[in-house]
A and B are shown apart, each in its own frame.
Chain A
Amino acid sequence: MKKFLAQTYLWILLILLYAPLIFIAIFSFTEARVLGNWTGFSTQLYENLFTGNVNGSASLISAVRNTFIIAIVAALISTVLGTLAAIGIHNLRGRKKSTMLFLNNIPMLNPDIITGVSLFLLFVFLRISQGYATVVLAHVTFCTPYVVLSVLPRITQLSPNTYEAALDLGATPMQALWKVIVPQLRPGMVSGFFLAFTMSLDDFAVTFFTRGTIGLDTLSTFIYTDARKGGLTPELRPLMTLIFLIILILLVIINVRQAKQQNSIKNK
């Protein structure tokens, strides 16, 4: 009985969490412009999404492209900057180290509207015209701390001897870094990269304040402007449905693989 109640509770929560997503998915299979009107089954919206020949869907596709380009570039820069910083911070002592860690925490604790407004004021102050570059810079600002925090524990686990051994065996410091240190840090860098990537994909407020007036749109700002104009571009429905399916499939694959790995460890 207790178990039944417990499971009912979890199921109700899950149904409520997924209701809007299922709602979008169902109405992606009809042509009506307004979400919630059913005008018969149709895959027209999916066709529009892929051919991009309907008024709204071309700018939607470019918004999706911008979102991914910005996320990849920002995540790459953050990973390099953050990994270097993590190695540096690890070798710092005392006051300097705690100052760096404190600074690193600020962007994570700042709400995104503050990050957005403050960077907006910076670009206005320096008279930098806002667009692609400023959005990427802004994203690097709030993504890098996550890379630092995912690489730092890896460095702490490193044995300093491996690096010394490489040097003793005749490697230059650069070689020792590339062939010995970086491979050991790779898991931390990879998880940092993906963390930065998802933070950037998800962002709305920071992009909103730093994209300037050149008409640069990411998915979030596109949806925001669209909704304020009244009436969402209907092609967003199939797009969201597809994104949801892709994430679901990715997670299932990752989990199955993890479960298999754990099983094989147990069997050994």
Chain B
Amino acid sequence: MSKRHNWSIPYFVFMVLFVVLPLLLVAVYAFQDGNGRFTFANIVRFFSDSNALSTFALSIEVAIENTVLCILIGYPAAWLLANRKYNRSAVTIILFILPMWINALMRTLATAELFNILGVQLGKGTLLYGMVYDYLPFMIYPIYTILQKMDKSYAEAAEDLGATPSQVFWKVTVPLSMPGVRSGILMVFMPTVSTFAISEFLTNNKIKLFGTIIQENINSSMWNYGAALALIMLLIIGISTLFNKNDGEEAESSLI
């Protein structure tokens, strides 16, 4: 088994080249002007641009609202699915995950078209509906996995000791399922902050989210400002992952 640790070297080199270096380049471009000179102008521009700031605030707001809605709708669903009394078949959970395999853009466009037919005005309401629609399975699945694996004897012990069903739920089941909820939050919140195509389709371009302005700047060759915006998003993500450091791994491993 002597030199087998060397086998990680190709992957290490690959990651330095395609993960670390690109992220460093985001920072480098963010602090350069068009001629490659060092400048703070891109960052200053963001903080003095009221449009960009309000888009940023709106993105965070939509992401929080989407996450809260996904928990409120997804938790009961996950609980019912994991509960033998209400759901005996393992196929039902698969039915909830299945739509994720169909192209998200196509589903989003069809949703927008359905709203048009029903005569619903596209706007913030339809945007939130579409977000919840796209991300709900990512909330249901990790919570379901945790609830399924949960040792039933805790709940039974609480019952034996005289807890009412609602006490059992709030004081035993919910606290024990928190790791699943946190993975769900991670998998819903961050993608929502950064999404771009979905918001364009669901609001007919009326509402822009932060991802959209990053994309617009990069595509119109304003690389330096685009990189500065990406750097700001990267910082937000860095901060929110530091808050639940170990949950990232949990979230991903529950996917596998």
Contact = CB atoms under 8 A, between A and B. Distances in A.
Contacts of B15: 103-104, 106
B252 A149 contact: yes
Given A108-B248, A232-B109, A255-B94, A120 B11 contact: no
Interface stretch (A8-16, A42-50, A51-59, A68-76): A8-16
Contacts of B255: 195
Residue picked from A14, A96, A109, most chain B C-beta under 10 Å: A109
Interface string B62-104: 0000000000010011001100011100111011101111111
Given A17-B136, A105-B248, A24 B196 contact: no
A125 B196 contact: no
Contact of B22 (A89, A118, A148, A163): A118
B8 A100 contact: yes
B194 A111 contact: yes
Nearest to B194: A111
Contacts of A198: 101
Contacts of A111: 190-191, 193-194, 211, 233, 237
B78 to A, nearest CB: 11
Interface residues of B, number: 82
A105 B211 CA distance: 22
B227 interface: yes
Contact of A124 (B92, B193, B223): B223
Residue picked from A81, A119, A121, most chain B C-beta under 10 Å: A121
Interface in B125-145: 133, 136-137
Contacts of A106: 15, 19-20, 23
Nearest to B5: A91
B111 interface: yes
A88 B1 contact: no
A87 B8 CA distance: 7
Nearest to B80: A6
Interface stretch (B48-56, B113-121, B156-164): B113-121
A202 B9 CA distance: 29
B201 A109 contact: no
A248 to B, nearest CB: 7
Given A103-B12, A121-B25, A121-B223, 14 more contacts: A81-B11, A84-B8, A85-B7, A88-B9, A88-B11, A91-B8, A111-B190, A114-B233, A118-B230, A120-B218, A141-B14, A204-B104, A209-B218, A223-B106
Interface of A: 3, 6-7, 9-10, 13-14, 16-21, 23-24, 35-36, 81-82, 84-85, 87-92, 96, 100, 103-114, 117-122, 124-125, 137-138, 140-141, 144-146, 148-150, 160, 163, 191, 195, 198, 202, 204-205, 208-209, 219-220, 223-224, 227-228, 232, 236, 240, 243-244, 247-248, 251, 255
Interface of B: 1, 4-12, 14-15, 18-23, 25-26, 29, 73, 76-77, 80-81, 85-87, 90-92, 94-96, 98-107, 109-111, 113-114, 116-117, 133, 136-137, 190-191, 193-197, 200-201, 211, 214-215, 218, 223, 226-227, 230, 233-234, 237, 241, 248-249, 252-253, 255-256
